[in-house]
Amino acid sequence: MDTSFAPEDLAFRDEVRAFFAEAYDSELQARLNNLETFKEAVIDWQKRLYKKGWIAPGWPKEYGGTGWNATQKFIYETERSAAGIRDVIPFGLNMVGPVIYAFGNEEQKARFLPGILQSDDWWCQGYSEPGAGSDLASLKTRAVREGDEYVVTGAKIWTSYAQYADWIFCLVRTSNEGKKQNGISFLLIDMKSPGIKVNPIVSIDNHHSLNEVEFNEVRVPVANLIGEQDKGWTYAKALLAHERTAIAGVADSKRSLAETRAFAEREVNGGKSLLSDPLFQKRLSDIEIELMALEFTELRVLATVAAGGAPGAESSMLKIKGTEMQQAVQELRMEVAAYYQGVLPNDLTPEQLGHDFGSQARQTYMYGRASTIYGGSNEVQKNIIAKAVLGL
């Protein structure tokens, strides 16, 4: 039982810190914060990580991973969050990439992995459907084999960044025999294929990142099927556990809480800062205490994975607690902003408006409501724990 850093860990930390300080420059940050330039700025940033060799810490070394141990991964995540750097867009690097190297054939690995690592291909995820959310296995988008092609018809929903995507990985129904989990296949589809239509969805934060993707007799080469036909659910399940571990976001919550604390210190009313208000302190410490525990829960899961174990039902716990904490921090920041939480984005400068973070705090808070819904809703995660851990 030891969580202290060895000298070589500290040297690694310094290296990570120095790289972020240099590579994540203010010009890039400005482009990331501008909706017009967001996509190319993300690609630019991810290419810088690729050149450094750090684009895929979660991948095995043979496929382009870093070969870091659990401590190094933890240090990297902590430094990334501390530097205010958002995680990579997950759909290629954290989701379909691992499925391809684990279950794809050699040709598929050679064809798709370089484009993912180098961020030349933008991926999106085609899982949920209007009628299949928490009950994902009830999905109805069907793929009918005709010669060397599948003909895909149906609709996917809540597809983040489909408007930017070159490729979509989809769960499609190839058979109605037996259990509904059987008969699902994992298919890679070129977004330029005829018959695909992307319909934007404006979310509760007034932004457009979500979409509905319609498939109307879209022809997909059989070579784009991952693994075996009708076995896609197995691959998807492996991916979902991966996704849940990634969305705990403890390091990001810690950083966000520290910022919120700094904002509260700045708010002075009647000669006293908000930070000295006992009720506010209680709300702050309630969150901080949970995060202190969650950080070690995450480390315990990381250590299990590093020792060769698979993230099982523990990843559900990380997802539940991680997203609850994210939402708690987001809510607290809204309280600090007081009336200014209500301001919609406008052309006024912070000086004219009298405030500098209210609008952003609300957008993050509003969109943050989705985190307990996506990636398998928290209710579904509780079912998994009840079944797999508690044996109920």
Partner 1 sequence: MNFEFTEEQGMLRDSVARFVQDSYDFDTRCKIAASDEGMSRENWQTFAELGWLSVPFAESHGGFGGGPVDTMVMMEEFGKGIVLEPYLATVLLFGGLLQRGGSVEQQAELIPRIIEGSCLGAFAYLERQSRHAITDIKTTAAVEGDQLVLNGEKVVVFNGASADQLIVAARSSGEQSDEDGITLVLVPADAAGVERTAYRMMDGQVVANITFTDVRVPVADIVGEAGEGYAVMSPVITRANVALAAEALGIMGQLNAKTLEYTKTRKQFDVPIGSFQALQHRMVDTFMAYEQVKSLLYRAVCELDGEGDDTAACVHALKVLVDRNGKKIFGEAIQLHGGMGITDELDIGHYAKRLMMINTTFGNGDYHQAKFNELRYSA
Given a contact cutoff of 8 angstroms between Cβ atoms, the answer to whether 165 and 124 are in contact is: yes
- Residue (138 or 176) nearer to partner 1, CB: 138
- Of 55 and 334, nearer to partner 1 (C-beta) is 334
**Rounded to the nearest whole angstrom, what is the least distance from the CB of residue 141 to partner 1 in the complex?**
16
**350 CA to centre of own chain:** 30
Map tokens 């990570």 to a residue: 16
In the bound complex, what is the minimum distance in angstroms from residue 364's beta carbon to partner 1?
A: 13
| Residue 358 beta carbon to partner 1: minimum distance, rounded to whole angstroms | 10
What does R_g of the chain's alpha carbons equal in angstroms? 22
Nearest distance from residue 381's CB to partner 1, in Å? 12
- CB nearer partner 1, residue 299 or residue 370: 370
Per CB under 8 A, residues contacting partner 1 are 128, 131-135, 138, 157-158, 201-204, 206, 210, 267-271, 274, 277, 279-280, 283, 331, 334-335, 338-344, 346, 348, 352-355, 362, 366-367, 369-370, 372-374, 377-379, 382
What is the smallest separation between the CB atom of 257 and partner 1, expressed in angstroms? 17
Per-position DSSP letters for 66-134, written without gaps between them: ----HHHHHHHHHHHHHTTPPPPPHIIIIIIHHHHHHHS-HHHHHHHHHHHHTT-S-EEEE--BTTBSS
CB of 328 to partner 1, least distance (A): 11
Is the CB of 12 or the CB of 127 nearer to partner 1? 127
CB of residue 152 vs partner 1: minimum separation in angstroms? 21
d(CA 240, CA 392): 22
Closest CA relative to residue 43, chosen from 213, 161, 185: 161
Closer to partner 1 by Cβ: residue 132 or 162: 132
H/E segment holding residue 256: helix 250-266
> How many other C-beta atoms can be found within 10 angstroms of the C-beta atom of residue 250?
25
Q: Are strands 142-146 and 149-157 parallel, antiparallel or unpaired?
A: antiparallel
Indicate the burial class of 27 (C-beta count within 10 angstroms; 0-12, 13-18, 19 or more): exposed
Three-state DSSP at 384 gives helix
Alpha-carbon distance of 322 to 85, in angstroms, equals 18
CB of 94 to partner 1, least distance (A): 20
Nearer to partner 1, 223 or 348 (CB): 348
**CB nearer to partner 1: pick between 71 and 160:** 160
Q: Residue 193 corresponds to which tokens in the numbers above?
A: 């294929």
Amino acid code (one letter) for 325:
M
Helix axes 70-82, 7-23, angle to 10 degrees: 40
CB of 179 to partner 1, least distance (A): 13
Which candidate, 262, 325, 315, places its Cα nearest to that of 293? 325
Smallest gap from residue 198 Cβ to partner 1 (A)? 16
Q: Which is nearer to partner 1, 18 or 201 (CB)?
A: 201
Please say which residue, 310 or 348, places its beta carbon nearer to partner 1. 348
Torsions phi, psi of 142, nearest 5?
-110, 145
**Are the beta carbons of 326 and 249 closer than 8 angstroms?**
yes
Up-side HSE of residue 337: CA atoms within 13 Å toward CB?
25
Given the complex with partner 1, which of 60 and 342 has the nearer CB atom?
342
